[in-house]
Chain A
Amino acid sequence: MNKLKFKDKINVDLLIYLAIVVVSVIILAFLDMNKFEYNYAISIIEKSLVYAVVALSMNIVTGFTGLFSLGQAGFMALGAYTTAILTIPVASRPNVYYMNGILPALENAVVPIPVALILGGLVAALFAALIGIPVLKLKSDYLAIATLGFSEIIRAVIASPMMDKITNGSYGLKSIPGFKSSVECFAFSLICIVLMVLIINSSTGRDFKAIREDEIAARSVGINIFKTKELSFVVSSFFTGVGGGLLAMFMRSIDSKTFQITLTYDILLIVVLGGIGSITGSIVGAFFVTAGKEILRFFDEPLVVAGTEIPLFKPGFRMVIFSILLMVVVLFFRKGLLGGKELSIKGMKKYSRKKEEQNIDEGGAV
């Protein structure tokens, strides 16, 4: 019996990913050193990284467990507010809560940023665990509607006057400490992504996939459907909460309007575009969508060709172009850019080998 090649898991791909990480850090460090010159690029990269974390967390529940949840914005809000409340410098607090004052208990509550992010994730996870009990009994569209409703409730509660002394109501929170550098943002995002990838590729992740594939078959091999769904929902929400915290750090100021349903749609767009059930898809999708929206700004500027101004080039036109691009992608890549597959060297090798075999076959036929 030849030994199982489990150790092959430490493969070329892992080295490639490490190389990508190292190169990214070097590039980001370079950008950080020339902060003023590359301010714009840095902000796009940071936003993409944050969105990649949230998109991947949504993919855990939607793409890998097959539960169509639209509660993303709500869980992000929970994480963002928790992080913000616990990290705004004490000195700035009277300034932030200038209208209604702050709850005495929170006046001096400050924790280090990583702790605040984890707490933000835990708050989101706790809420997910509670609402998961009734909601996860629902299927497909019904689950989507229920989680959507939950997300709006969270937003309404955050903005309500009763919460003024905690969330500052409709005034929102500002003076949130941002990322010291883009490398810091990269580090936080990377940790989240690596943890999620480890979960997806573990035995727990396999249980998630079994449920996605066939619930009845999953039960017939002894998987507790409810527990596993709940676990997936809680884990996903934890990382969504952390992602929300990262978004708060990126934006430096948040209010309840930040977490409208459009935010969920943005994330959903990334997940669908990148490929439901694809890890690399979510990451590539996050950069594609975030950067795409910015690069297309060119269409918002007036364009003069041969002395005449082209009428379509007006503010807002880029969103038209962006939407058309999306339609093209959805029409031609129905399963998303990566369609449930992963970007990997192994995959590319397999693909090129298939091509080669095909060529040989074709050659033989002639």
Chain B
Amino acid sequence: MENILKLTDMSIQFGGLRAIDSLNLEVNKGEIVAIIGPNGAGKTTAFNCITGIYTPTSGNIEYLGQSIINKDPEEITKRGIARTFQNIRLFKNLSVFENVLIAVHLRYNDNIFTSALRINYKQELAMREEVKALLESQDLYKYRYDIASSLPYGIQRRLEIARALATKPTLLLLDEPAAGMNPHETKELTAYIKKIRDEFGLTILLIEHHMDLVMDISERIYVIDFGKLIAKGNPDEIQNNPKVIEAYLGVEENA
């Protein structure tokens, strides 16, 4: 299977705190892989390293066989890694249409002269058509004029995913996509993630606390605790792994 993402011995240190300690992780093409672990385990930090917001202290990150260490976040996005955020980060005061439209920019060559003087008119039209098609496919077209912050929470989540999809990613990182959702919504989201994986030919790496979703959707799971990888395997293996149970439930003290 083709290797999309590969972390080798990746560590990051903030002052005296080793937030991630030699993490090894692989994601293969077409897979849905989950990272789980208790709060503060370093899951989001790992995402921030992959997307270039943080630079790892040591180790390597390879994407499609090339190291992406020290690359800027925008460069990494251009190479095909898109992400969503734990606490939704939309362009709050812009419309749904604009939110997605901005994410399309990176694939078109514009400069201030062509765009200001409307020399890029055809290109702008193409961008808008593309956004329209994407919004329609994601069932968001009816909200196109709405200001992002005025939307219900669940729609904002979907908009954030749509915005990530607009960059035409190969690898999609989802940071707690089901946060704040009820079981019914979570179920819908599960189906939705599978759907976009197939539709857009994506590889997905996600962080999630909802175990129903994680166990249902993931092909493989990595468990992190205190920055260290404590287990990896398929959902069945993880569910029966004593170390994982210990990390989540604590050790039983025998009298």
Contacts and interface: CB of A to CB of B under 8 A. Distances in A.
| Mutual binders A and B | yes
A223 interface: yes
A352 interface: no
Interface string A199-227: 10011111101100110111111111100
A6 interface: yes
Contact of A216 (B89, B106, B110, B111): B89
B116 A198 contact: yes
A19 interface: no
B82 A220 contact: yes
Contact of B112 (A204, A214, A223, A225): A204
B132 interface: yes
Contacts of B94: 206, 209-210, 213
Given A6-B128, A217-B91, A221-B166, A202 B51 contact: no
B101 A206 contact: yes
Interface residues of B, number: 41
A27 B132 CA distance: 44
A222 B129 CA distance: 20
A213 B105 contact: no
Nearest to B148: A213
A231 interface: yes
Which of A198, A210, A213, A231 has most B Cβ within 10 Å? A213
Given A219-B72, A220-B82, A203 B77 contact: no
Interface in B106-127: 106, 108, 110-112, 115-118, 120, 124-125, 127
Interface in A214-247: 214, 216-225, 231, 235
Given A198-B118, A204-B116, A222 B167 contact: yes
B13 to A, nearest CB: 22
Contact of B77 (A6, A205, A219): A219
Given A221-B105, A222-B167, 17 more contacts: A199-B116, A204-B112, A204-B115, A210-B94, A213-B91, A214-B89, A214-B90, A214-B92, A216-B73, A216-B85, A219-B53, A219-B72, A220-B77, A220-B89, A221-B82, A221-B166, A221-B167
14 contacts: A198-B118, A199-B112, A205-B115, A206-B102, A209-B102, A213-B94, A214-B89, A214-B90, A214-B91, A216-B53, A216-B73, A219-B72, A221-B82, A221-B167
